[in-house]
Every structure is written in C-alpha cells, then in structure tokens.
Structure 1
Amino acid sequence: MVDEKRLPTLGEVGFVLVGFIVIMYLFIVQFELPIQLALLTVWFLIMIVGLRIGYTYYQMQNGIIKGITDGMEAVLVLISVGALIGTWIAGGIVPSIIYFGLTIIDPTIFLFAAFVICAITSLATGTSFGSAGTAGIAMMGIGASFGMPIALVAGAVISGCYVGDKLSPLSDTTVMTASLSKVNVIEHIKGMLYVSGPAFVIAGLLFIVMGFFYGGSGDLSQAEQTMQSLSNYFNIAWYMLIPAAIVIALLAMKKPAIPVILFGALLGSIWAGLFQGLAPLEAFTSIYTGSTIESGVDFIDNLLNRGGITFMLEVIVLILFALGVGGLMEQTGILRAICVKLLSWADNAGKTTLSTMLSGFFGNFFGGAAYVSLITASKMTEENYDRLNLDRRLLSRNTEAGGTVTTPMVPWSDGGIFMAATLGVSTLTYLPFLWFNLLVVLISLIYGFSNKFIWYTNDHTVDNSEKAS
C-alpha cells in the first residue's frame, strides 16, 4: 500500500514562507551571520512541517539528497569556472582583454559595449556563468578604469550574460525549458524573441544613455594607470587571447561545457608558465588556488586576486544548502500545495502568465537554483495552459521569464551567488541595473494581461498581427 501524505495546509505553507523570510532577515541583516547558516536553519523549519504531516526524517533526507543531486551540474560548472578564472588571470588572458578593451572602447559607449559583448559571448557559448567569469570580469576591470559605477557595470554585464542564457540553443536552461514544456527548442527560441527582442533594444538604449551620462566624465588617467600596471605585471599580447578563442569555438561547436571549460583552465595554466614566467608547478596550482597579484592598483588587485577551485568553495556550500531547501519543499509537498492554489486562481492568459512567473521566482527564492525554478514554473502551471487552450510556447516563454532571468536577482540562488562572488558586487547592489532581466519580466506581464502575442492551440491569436506558426 502506498503511504500517501496529505498536502500542507495554507497555514503550514504560510508558516514556512514567512519563517523563511524572517530567518533570512535576522541572519543576514540583523545579526550579519553567514547566509549558509540561515539556509541550514531553514532546513529544520521545513522539517517541523514535514514531521507534522507524517514524514520521517529519512524520507525528508532523501528529499534533500534529491534536491542536491538535481542541481549537481551547476556545482560542477562552478568548480570548472572557478578553475578557469584563476588560470586565465594568472595566464594573462583576462588582463590582456582588459588592456585591449581600454585601448579600443570609448568610455561613452562602454556600458552598451559591455552589454553587447557579454550577450554575444553568452549566445556563442550558452553559459552565463562562463561569460561572466571571462568577458564579464574583463568588462568590470575596464569599467572601473573608466570610473564607472561598479554596480552599473555589473548590471550591464549580467544583463548581457542572460541574453544568451535565455536565447542560445547551446544553453542548458534553454534546452531544459523546451523539454519540460514539450516544445521544439527552435520554436521555443522564436517564441521568446517577441519578449527578448524589445527587452534587448530598450536595455541597450538605456545603457547608451547612461554611458553618455557617466562616460563624458570618465577618469581616463585611471584607465592609463591601469594599462600601465597591467603591462608592468603581465605580458600583454594578442596570442594571450588564443585560449579564449579556443574555448568559445569549442562551446559554439556544442561540445560539453564542463570538459571544455576545464580544458580552457588547463590552457590558462600552460599560458601562465609559458608567457607569464610562473614556475610549472605554480602555474598548474593556479587551477586550484587561483591568482594572486600585486599590480599597484587597488581595484585591479581586488578584481584579479580571485579564481581557482578554492575561490568557489563557500559558494558551493551555499548552493548545496539552497538546493537542500528546494528538495525539502518538494518532498514535503509545499510546492505542490502552492501549485494547487495557483491553478484555482489563474483563469485567463494574464493570470496564467503571472502564476508561471511567480512559480519560477518561488523556485529561485525557495529552491536556490535555476533548474529548480524551471521545474516549478513549468510543472506547477502546465495544466492551466492545456485547460485554457494556450499554446505551450507561452508556457516555455513565461517559464524562462519567471525562472531563468530572475535567478541572479536572488542573493542565495546559484546565479545570484555566482555573479556576486565573481564580479565582486552584491546582488542587491546590482539588482536595480539588471535592465534586460527586469524588462523581460515586465514585457511578459504586459503581453499576458493585454492579450498581445498570445497564441492558442487552435492557431487563433488574440493579437491578429501575430499568428502562431
């Protein structure tokens, strides 16, 4: 006989959600304790409800393990990117990109250039983490040299990185969303263009305007000092960019991301030994320990003294605890209970759009990972799309809007943790400048409630200018 447990009541769900927020506030804001401890405490909060419903500890432990296992690919990517960052700094690859960028990019168009460069990199590679850890770090160095507000630069970088994470056919989140929604991946991408296209254009214009506002008074003497310091400390040359070109080419050829990134890290260590004067063992060790430099420019030292597998260890612990929270909420039926409430409320295209996006955000907020958010967004609301005869391309489009692009907005999600650690800017500091991400959310909601670009399974479209293909 199958031992079925009841779903948590509305009061029990509220107890967990309110308790989660209170614990986060007390630990992070009030007492300034590590966020890892806050998430670990949330485990026990959820277990209280689980025990009340009738789950044993071992059943809940299985939920934790499953949640962590489902997100293990993100952990492996973090380890790989950490190694890549460390060797690409030690090998002079990132410093060369910064140096050349300072020579060719005008301060007035820098923010727009950073946004577009990171977008192209992420479209070509399909990874927001890899794009931020390579091109993103370089853009942060260039922006700081121009005297740009560092949070604004981070906003441009992350916005660009999530263009490809959302749209590239090489992106795991793009493929996963299409698969979960039962939509052809190319049709999924075409459907997203109605949202992402306007969001990209508007965000680009905003970055151009802000670039003229800040770039006109950019501190070029600081840029010259940065270039001088980099050339004094590193061998700067065109061939420093070869490992970057190889990695981007391999990812564009749809080779597996983790071995390609680790191969790039190995190339970086070889470059560190061949061209930067590091001893062979020291160059190889940079894969694990990262880069340590003293260039004489404080912000460059802060930016480039990072990377290596050890650099990601605290981040990995944080993600493991966050994934455990998601696994517990799934195991104890809390996510399913929320799903039932959303299904009974969403009775039109606008409410269904909002419910999907809220479900995705819940996955990031309470599950701590993009993968969790894609599952919660698609599986918690897919019944409504079928019930209302809404085309499943809308489900996949809204899943990306509520799941993928909101990931870097949550401080304890895998995307939020990685971006903050890699770029050296806290999540809440760069959040107001995630213009592409925020516009995707806003435009998706506008389409949903205005019945624009809403497709139905009978090929009827409310907006007659666009019919489902």
Structure 2
Amino acid sequence: MKERQATRLPTMQEVLALMVGFIAIMFLYINVFDLPIQLALFTSWFLVMALGLRLGLSYDSMQKGLIDGIHNGMEAVLVLITVGALIGTWIAGGIVPSIIYYGLSVMNPQIFLCAAFLICAITSLSTGTSFGTAGTAGVAMMGIGYSFGIPLPLVAGAVISGAYVGDKMSPLSDTTVMTASLCKVSLVDHIRSMALVSGPAALIAALLFLVVGFFYVKEGADIQRAEQAMQALNAHFTINGWLLLPAAAVIALLIRRYPAIPVITLGAVMGAVCAWLAQGVELLDAVRTAYFGNAMQSDVDFLNTLLNRGGIESMLGVIALILFALGLGGLMERVGVLQAICNGFLRWANNPGRLTVSTMLGGFFGNFFGGAAYVSLITASTITEKNYDQQGIDRRVLSRNAEAGGTITTPMVPWTDGGVFMATTLGVSTLGYLPFLWYHMLVILISLFYGFANIAIWRTASSDDTQDAPSRAAISTANS
C-alpha cells in the first residue's frame, strides 16, 4: 500500500499505448509469426512490467500482483482438469456415444438448434456451470448436429448460448453469486433484475435458432448421415440406456449444490468403470483415458472428429494459456491500469445510458486483459459503482450490467478461460462460433437499450428523482 502511495497511476495516454502494444503483440505472434497465443500473453507480461517500472513499482510488487491474479482463477483451472478427465472417460465408457445415439433417434433435425439451446440452458440453470454443461450436454449436441449436417460453428453457438443462460442466471452459478456479493445486492434481487434482460434475450434467441433450423434444414431433409452415425456408434460402442445414469447422477449432484470439482471427478471415475464393464476396455486402459483421452480408429469421419478427444492432457495447453492470462490480469490490477480506466469512466458516465456502456466496457476490458470472468466481474463492478451511487441509481442495475459486460463477454475473447475452454471442448474456434452467440449479443443490446431508454433503471431512496416511487418503497422495505 505504501508503494502505491509513492507511485502514480498511468495516464490515459500510457494506457492507450499499452493497449496498442498488447494488440500488436497478439496480432504479430498469432497471424504473422504463427506462434502460440500462450507466448503472446507471456510476452505481454513484460510489456506491463515495463510500464510498472516507469511508474515506480518494484519487480517484487508486480510479481505479487501476478501471483495474486493466478491464485484468484485457480478454481477454473481445477475445473478444467476434472472436465478433461470426464470427457475422456465418458467417451470411452460409451456415455457420450449413447447420448448422441438416443438424441439422433428421437430429435427432429429442423428443431435441433432450438432444442440444443434449450437443453443446454436447462442444464446450466440446473447446475450453474457453463463449463460442465458444455463438457457434457454440449459435446453430445455437437455430435448430433454434425450427424444432421448442420455447420459445427452454428451448433456451438446454440450450445454456448444455452450454457451461459445458467452461468449468468442460476443461483448455483459462482459468477452470479460473486457479482451479487461484489455489488452488495441480495442474490434474489440480482437474479430478478437480470431476468428482465435475460428472459427476453433467451426467448428471442430460442426463436432465432428455431427459425434458422427450419430455414437451414428443409422438411424431409436427408438424414442418411445421421443413420450412418448411429450405425457407426453401434459398431464401435455398446449402446445402452443405463449408460445415461452417470450423466444423470452428475447433474443431480450439481443441482443439489455439491462442490463441482469432486462431483465431476466422480463422474470421470464412473466413466472409467463404464469403459471397463460395458465397453470391454482393460481396467488400466480405461483409467488412462482420464489423462490421455479416448483414442480410436474408424473409417467414419464423424467418430474420428468428435470422439478422439478428452483427457487431462488435452487441457494442458488451455491451462497454460489461462495461467498466463490470469497473471496478466493481476499485473494490470497491480500497475493501476484498471484504476486509470475507472477514473476516466467516472468523468464520462453522467447518465444511465453512458453508465451502462461504461460498466459493460469495464467487464470487457477485464476479459480482454485479465483473461477470466472473475477479473471482468471485478472490473465491471468497481469501475463505475461510485457513479451509480452518485446518480442515485440502484445497485441492482449495476449488478445486472456487470454480468452483461463480464460473464457474457467471456467466451467472446479467444484467450479467456471461457473462450479457450469452449473452443477446445467443442472443437470450434472462438472466431468461428462468435457470430452465432445470439443470446450473448441480445443481452448486450437489450441492456444498452434499457440504459438509454431509462427502462428498469431504479432509483435509490436517497435520489432526488421522484420517479419510480413503488420501486423506492420496495427497496426501502428490502433494506430494512
């Protein structure tokens, strides 16, 4: 703290120069030199450190900020490890193939996109985890969509859109609970406020996926690929209804709010047991799939594309990327870049519309530079919270906008934990599925519309504004 008082915050010119340097490094490493994105983020550490040294910070102080940033996101890393093990054993155990098989047998291709969105939305609302949803129901939906001949980026858009309905709205979601806590809003009030945005966004997104499904998949469409996939699944796996029980058990335990990491690990163990007992895999080989993933050779592209994946090993590159991104976020926080941006927003955001924009940009910057939803929620909630109080706008509006700018934009940035996880798990690049994240885009647009149209912008009891008296009375009652 003493060191922070002895240094200065970066100027906006220095912040802009840092942003330009960061974007240049990312572009050159990825598009020109064809180097891994992990190296680009690692190099960016030293760009931020150079600014920190210019501002008078010591290396030890900046290293502590880097380590703190990594520490704050370690839960996501542990979830990645367990989900990687689960995907590997669930494929080898025939759990994912059985879900795909039965899905192909009962689902109409024309309504598939809407159904995939709704299934993933219900799963995520029930479990509170977008990662768990994408790694289980999402992988199965990708297989079904592939068999119907629907482009995988479009299927991934439906899966991720549904997965983030619950990540943003479920009382079981860590980001939902965290945002309510950061904004000092009760969890119930936070969810009710978000429902005014997420409800219409989810409804419109479902309709869009339904319309596109009917438009893209003509009535009486050729389902020969789906039939071939079912035959191939039958040939390579034992398909049985009881193999769905591990998936049902994992979802049920998550619904009952048991910790995600041991529950997902238990699911991986059940997958290995299924591979041993149901698929005839040697016990040690079944256990190995938890680390190395499933491996099989088939003449069917569908099986080779979708079912040769999973395992902890497949997540190691993702984990390295997330660690670099989290470290970068911790450095940004320690050097004062985020605080400098906050101060700039304080002068500009003088009405509800601009306040909404500034909060959402704060969340996006947290994802862009911090690489994780946790960082984005902190930046979104802290950058403009004083402005909400000064303008007499209720904190429920802050919490709603923080989720719209933080949680929602996480899978839109290729190097965030959410972006990397979704791309790796579903086999579609971030830029590939980005145009089809219709739920995410609708949440952002509706939030902006509410801000500039002054809709659902509640005033606090201390505000001089005389409108929305019923809301003020409700707030006073809730606070008492």
TM-score, normalised via structure 2 length? 0.95
Q: CA deviation at 1:459?
A: 9.1
User: Comparing 309-318 with 56-65, which one deviates more in the overlay?
Assistant: 56-65
Cα distance in 2 for partners of 1:126, 1:372 equals 19
Cα distance in 1 for partners of 2:288, 2:241 equals 25
Asked if the contact 1:374–1:400 (Cα under 8 Å) also holds between the matched residues in 2, the reply is yes
Tell me the amino acid that sits aligned with residue 244 of structure 1.
Answer: A
Aligned to 2:158: 156
Cα distance in 2 for partners of 1:269, 1:418 equals 22
Aligned residues: 469
Give matches, 1:273-288, under 5 Å: 273-288=276-291
Secondary structure of the residue that 1:135 maps to in structure 2? helix
Give matches, 1:192-271, under 5 Å: 192-216=194-218, 218-271=221-274
From 95, 99, 102, the counterpart of 2:104: 102
What is the identity percentage for the equivalent residue pairs of Structure 1 and Structure 2? 65
Asked if the contact 2:87–2:311 (Cα under 8 Å) also holds between the matched residues in 1, the reply is yes
Secondary structure of the residue that 1:404 maps to in structure 2? coil
Asked if the contact 1:288–1:310 (Cα under 8 Å) also holds between the matched residues in 2, the reply is yes
The unaligned stretches of length 5 or more in structure 2 are 475-480
Asked if the contact 1:7–1:337 (Cα under 8 Å) also holds between the matched residues in 2, the reply is yes
**Structure 1 moving runs of 4+ over 4 Å:** 459-466
From 373, 386, 406, the counterpart of 2:376: 373
Inter-CA distance 462–448: structure 2 relative to 1 (3 Å threshold): farther
Asked if the contact 2:143–2:306 (Cα under 8 Å) also holds between the matched residues in 1, the reply is yes
Asked if the contact 1:452–1:462 (Cα under 8 Å) also holds between the matched residues in 2, the reply is no
Asked if the contact 1:83–1:287 (Cα under 8 Å) also holds between the matched residues in 2, the reply is yes
Aligned to 1:344: 347
Aligned to 2:447: 444
Matched, 1:131 2:127: no
Q: CA deviation at 1:2?
A: 2.1
Cα distance in 2 for partners of 1:133, 1:337 equals 38
Tell me the amino acid that sits aligned with residue 120 of structure 1.
Answer: I
From 328, 332, 335, the counterpart of 1:332: 335
Inter-CA distance 462–455: structure 2 relative to 1 (3 Å threshold): farther
Cα distance in 2 for partners of 1:331, 1:266 equals 41
Cα distance in 2 for partners of 1:104, 1:192 equals 34
From 362, 365, 372, the counterpart of 2:365: 362
From 423, 426, 430, the counterpart of 2:433: 430
Give matches, 1:172-183, under 5 Å: 172-183=174-185
Structure 1 residues 228-267: Cα deviation after superposition (integer angstroms, max 9, x where no partner): 0001111111101000010000000010111111111111
Inter-CA distance 243–348: structure 2 relative to 1 (3 Å threshold): same
Secondary structure of the residue that 2:350 maps to in structure 1? coil
Tell me the amino acid that sits aligned with residue 396 of structure 2.
Answer: R
Aligned to 2:477: none
Tell me the amino acid that sits aligned with residue 127 of structure 2.
Answer: T
Aligned to 2:42: 40
Secondary structure of the residue that 1:455 maps to in structure 2? coil
Give matches, 1:287-326, under 5 Å: 287-326=290-329
Cα distance in 2 for partners of 1:463, 1:84 equals 52
Asked if the contact 1:143–1:153 (Cα under 8 Å) also holds between the matched residues in 2, the reply is yes
Q: CA deviation at 1:56?
A: 1.4
Q: CA deviation at 1:59?
A: 1.2
Q: CA deviation at 1:300?
A: 2.5
Cα distance in 2 for partners of 1:75, 1:133 equals 14
TM-score, normalised via structure 1 length? 0.98
Inter-CA distance 465–410: structure 2 relative to 1 (3 Å threshold): farther
Aligned to 2:19: 17
Asked if the contact 2:459–2:468 (Cα under 8 Å) also holds between the matched residues in 1, the reply is no
